[in-house]
Amino acid sequence: MTEIRRGTLQEQTFYEQVGGEETFRRLVHRFYEGVAGDPLLRPMYPEEDLGPAEERFTLFLIQYWGGPTTYSQNRGHPRLRMRHVPFKVDRAAHDAWLGHMRVALDELGLSEEHEQTLWKYLTYAAASMINSPD
């Protein structure tokens, strides 16, 4: 999608195309609803309240997909692998994470193109976090 701004043609970011902040907040909120009841994943979140983790993940995805850079302003470079080192992320954790993300993504009702783009990234990111053999 494109639009005209001050006489120049500019591409919308993926973030804008899928509905901006609201879409990413819905995605991550639904994801964490699944994580909250997951006996494998829940222990990876030491905070009693999942709210801070939900906010960090939301801001990360917003920034990654072309929205405001609030995540980096607050937390610096994402360093995702380093931040996950303290936790055993094996194939089972990978699969559980993607299972909850699949449910959340399906509920967004994105276009097929946008859904596939986001899912491709999420599956890549989940595989990148594996740090322990099965």
pLDDT digits (tens, 9 = 90+) for 100-114: 999 999 999 999 999
What would the two tokens of residue 72 be? 């980096």
**Assigned CATH topology for domain 20-128:** Globin-like (1.10.490)
Give which of 82, 44, 46, 78 is closest to 62, Cα–Cα: 78
pLDDT of residue 4: 47
Contact 58, 28 (CB under 8 A): yes
The more confident residue out of 34 and 130 is 34
Element (H, E) at 112: helix 112-128
Domain-by-domain residue ranges, the chain? 20-128
Burial of 102 (0-12, 13-18, 19+ CB in 10 A): middle
pTM of structure: 0.84
**Distance from the Cα of residue 48 to its chain's centroid:** 20
Q: Is the pLDDT of residue 24 over 50?
A: yes
